[in-house]
Amino acid sequence: MTDRSFLDIMTNVFAVFILIILFFILIFREQHTMMVEGVIVPMERNLAEDYYYLELVEHFVIPLGLGGECNEKYYKLIKTDFGHICVAYPSLLKKTPEKFNFYNKSSIYYKTLKGLDPSTTYLVFLVRPSAFDYYHEVTKVAKENHFKVGWYPLKEEEPLAFSVYGRKIGPQD
């Protein structure tokens, strides 16, 4: 009888060990890429396409770059242990607001759309509360240009932090 209880204990320990191994295999099987940290966005999907991030502030669209790389024309790059942070230059929208104005058809947003391939790139909009009213108008233009779009809500003054441990943001239909 004591041999059987020892066998039961060993079987249970072995089963737990197997579950732990499976857990780590599932966690580490995905490639680590630079993604936004935080909440899982509804309708999240894994895609093979490149992520191009754009920040929405009021009616302004500021291009961040592919994979969360800071466009150094518009953002200061701060490297950290977990990834990096992109901080927009304070006077960016004050000096040349027409350059980022969504309603200006020659703005950087429209030029960015023309320079990207919708079959290999999809757009992720990092939306500030001041831009919620404009989000649908901005994404409508992107969808008319055959881009898939995703979004991520941010607080108004929250820095753009990208981490190798963040979540993937997929397009919403």
Q: For residue range 95-146, what is the model confidence (pLDDT) as tens digits?
A: 888 899 999 999 999 999 999 999 888 898 999 999 988 999 999 999 999 9
pTM of the model: 0.67
Kindly give the pairing relationship between strand 160-163 and strand 83-88. antiparallel
- Is residue 138 within 8 A of residue 125, CB to CB? The reply is yes
Alpha-carbon distance 64 to 158, whole Å?
15
Amino acid at 153: P
Q: In the 3-class helix/strand/coil scheme, how is 45-96 assigned residue by residue?
A: CCCCCEEEEEEEECCEEEEEEECCCCCCCCEEEEECCCEEEEEECCCHHHHC
